[in-house]
A and B are shown apart, each in its own frame.
Chain A
């Protein structure tokens, strides 16, 4: 019997796993995809919200502010890229001022530090390319940008380093609440890879969290996948703005944000469209047009150096707030459901909170040898010449460039594949190293990354996939079908 099973290796599940790995517990994470960070966690704004947006008293408010504080703390410890660039909510007409004041008050109630409303002159100084029609803005200095992949990966790797086991390509098919001889509740899971019994079950299944919750609880919840489409621009456009620019929501709907990413690209999005299909991550012509046309309101002249576009799905629960805690009629079944924005920011705080619930139930011992620190993959692109030389001296493959757009070397890719919870797919390498994330979008490095994956995983090149089952690249040799 496993002590704790977590469904979902997204940022929420991984943050919970990492917090729980402090304790002497047997923990398993089940993930239906072939890697961590494959659902909502991989396709979002990458924003660390300061916390003025959520209504005071909600879980969103509470975990947002606390999560923001924790990310500041964890970024150096777990070595994931984060930058406090500050956020600005723009009022694009004078009537917007009232809305900003409401947000300011809300933020203050939520305990967000440093919030203030700034006028046009200061705004223009802070952000020279901001739209001339911006009247004033709410300035949130603690807002930031993070690499959503590497934060998720860092949590998972650190959890694994501390003994948590991750089981990929493992889809949970059914959950049965059972009672053991001592009268205690446990859960029996049928998965695509066999059965599993667990004392506690944590539901961090993103857009599928309602399915699992409703398998064990009579108090039903309902999640709507809400699609957000984004456009990503070339790094040469990355310095067009330095803060994250939000628009004050208007009658036209929730605004589109324009932000630098922590890696130096410019990103615009998202839309908010309710979907039927929890796997529908397709972009649409209308959606992308909306992103570009509405994003253009925030700045003087929105660059159009698009290198890619993508869509993600947020798990919107009908109640509008996060659902976190033990289900009232299913002891030991703990939800972390409805985790939409500001879920990425909130994740580490949710991790601490859920770990507390587990601690109160199982009363585990704290590990004496808990590994607090995780070291990421060295980045040649971000290294000084001295650091580069040192890396190459240790391993000459750090001088062999595979992805020329992002300057990613063979050494980094080998590291990504061979480390804890190493990459097994092309997308896995990409999220860990940025190989293929650049302006040529893997045109050059794809055919050079696949052989490294094949070699280190002991597979043929035909078996190497983009992101799991069925996403193959090469099929057979030339002339096979003649």
Chain B
């Protein structure tokens, strides 16, 4: 039996939750004070996911970089891979919120989309 300790992030109380696992399967959850805590703990120990927000370079924009995010969660351990993969992405202004900046980033199957409006720089 494996046990994992974590802090619940569902509300400011921050319960210290203990999860007991057997063969990767949740057997018991203690320390939570509400069902939301149990949900969080179960998913956090079995398949933790994060939305990654970052920047990619952009050509011809008002600024040299534009903000992006993964459209959904990616496995937590893939976060740095996603960030690194984004370094080789370069967009061209103008871009709009929701434009796909990179498809299937770092083999996660998740798309990365633009989160800021960026007009083309005014020509001098």
Do A and B have CB atoms closer than 8 angstroms in the complex?
A: yes
B-side contacts of A482, CB under 8 Å: 80, 83-84, 87
* A470 within 8 A of partner (CB): no
Interface string of A246-270 (1 = CB under 8 A from B): 0000000000000000000000000
B-side contacts of A479, CB under 8 Å: 83-84, 86-87
How far is B80's CA from A478's CA once the two chains are assembled, in angstroms? Answer: 14
Range, interface on chain B: under 10
B-side contacts of A478, CB under 8 Å: 55, 65
How far is B68's CA from A478's CA once the two chains are assembled, in angstroms? Answer: 14
How far is B103's CA from A387's CA once the two chains are assembled, in angstroms? Answer: 56
CB distance from A482 to the nearest CB of B (A): 5
CB distance from B124 to the nearest CB of A (A): 13
A-side contacts of B84, CB under 8 Å: 479, 482
Please give me the residue from chain A that is nearest to B86 by CB atom.
A479
CB distance from A454 to the nearest CB of B (A): 14
Interface string of A468-482 (1 = CB under 8 A from B): 000000000011001
How far is B61's CA from A70's CA once the two chains are assembled, in angstroms? Answer: 55
CB distance from A192 to the nearest CB of B (A): 36
CB distance from B58 to the nearest CB of A (A): 13
Tell me the dominant secondary structure on chain A's binding face.
Answer: loop
How far is B61's CA from A159's CA once the two chains are assembled, in angstroms? Answer: 45
How far is B83's CA from A479's CA once the two chains are assembled, in angstroms? Answer: 9
Please give me the residue from chain B that is nearest to A478 by CB atom.
B55
CB distance from B109 to the nearest CB of A (A): 22
How far is B86's CA from A479's CA once the two chains are assembled, in angstroms? Answer: 9
A-side contacts of B83, CB under 8 Å: 479, 482
Most interface-central of B55, B83, B86, B87 (chain A CB within 10 A): B87
How far is B10's CA from A361's CA once the two chains are assembled, in angstroms? Answer: 83
How far is B84's CA from A216's CA once the two chains are assembled, in angstroms? Answer: 61
How far is B86's CA from A482's CA once the two chains are assembled, in angstroms? Answer: 11
Please give me the residue from chain A that is nearest to B87 by CB atom.
A479
CB distance from A387 to the nearest CB of B (A): 31
CB distance from B13 to the nearest CB of A (A): 33
CB distance from A452 to the nearest CB of B (A): 17
Interface residues of B in 3-35 (CB under 8 A from A): none
How far is B54's CA from A482's CA once the two chains are assembled, in angstroms? Answer: 13
Please give me the residue from chain A that is nearest to B65 by CB atom.
A478
A-side contacts of B65, CB under 8 Å: 478
CB distance from A475 to the nearest CB of B (A): 16
Please give me the residue from chain A that is nearest to B84 by CB atom.
A482
How far is B87's CA from A478's CA once the two chains are assembled, in angstroms? Answer: 9
How far is B89's CA from A479's CA once the two chains are assembled, in angstroms? Answer: 12
How far is B86's CA from A478's CA once the two chains are assembled, in angstroms? Answer: 11
Interface residues of B in 67-106 (CB under 8 A from A): 80, 83-84, 86-87
Please give me the residue from chain B that is nearest to A482 by CB atom.
B84
CB distance from B52 to the nearest CB of A (A): 13
How far is B84's CA from A420's CA once the two chains are assembled, in angstroms? Answer: 47
CB distance from A191 to the nearest CB of B (A): 40
How far is B83's CA from A482's CA once the two chains are assembled, in angstroms? Answer: 9
How far is B51's CA from A301's CA once the two chains are assembled, in angstroms? Answer: 52
How far is B59's CA from A466's CA once the two chains are assembled, in angstroms? Answer: 30
CB distance from B33 to the nearest CB of A (A): 39
Please give me the residue from chain A that is nearest to B80 by CB atom.
A482
CB distance from B25 to the nearest CB of A (A): 35
CB distance from A476 to the nearest CB of B (A): 13
How far is B84's CA from A478's CA once the two chains are assembled, in angstroms? Answer: 11
Please give me the residue from chain B that is nearest to A479 by CB atom.
B87
How far is B58's CA from A288's CA once the two chains are assembled, in angstroms? Answer: 47
CB distance from A114 to the nearest CB of B (A): 59
Interface string of A439-482 (1 = CB under 8 A from B): 00000000000000000000000000000000000000011001
How far is B79's CA from A482's CA once the two chains are assembled, in angstroms? Answer: 13
A-side contacts of B86, CB under 8 Å: 479
How far is B55's CA from A478's CA once the two chains are assembled, in angstroms? Answer: 9
How far is B80's CA from A382's CA once the two chains are assembled, in angstroms? Answer: 51
Please give me the residue from chain A that is nearest to B88 by CB atom.
A479
CB distance from A76 to the nearest CB of B (A): 42
10 tightest A-B CB contacts, nearest first: A479-B87, A482-B84, A482-B87, A478-B55, A482-B83, A478-B65, A479-B83, A482-B80, A479-B84, A479-B86
Q: A482-B83, A482-B84, A482-B87 are in contact. List 5 more A-B contacts (CB 8 A).
A: A478-B55, A478-B65, A479-B84, A479-B86, A479-B87
Ordered by A's residue number, 10 sampled pairs between the chains whose C-beta atoms are within 8 Å are A478-B55, A478-B65, A479-B83, A479-B84, A479-B86, A479-B87, A482-B80, A482-B83, A482-B84, A482-B87
* A residues lining the B interface (CB < 8 Å): 478-479, 482
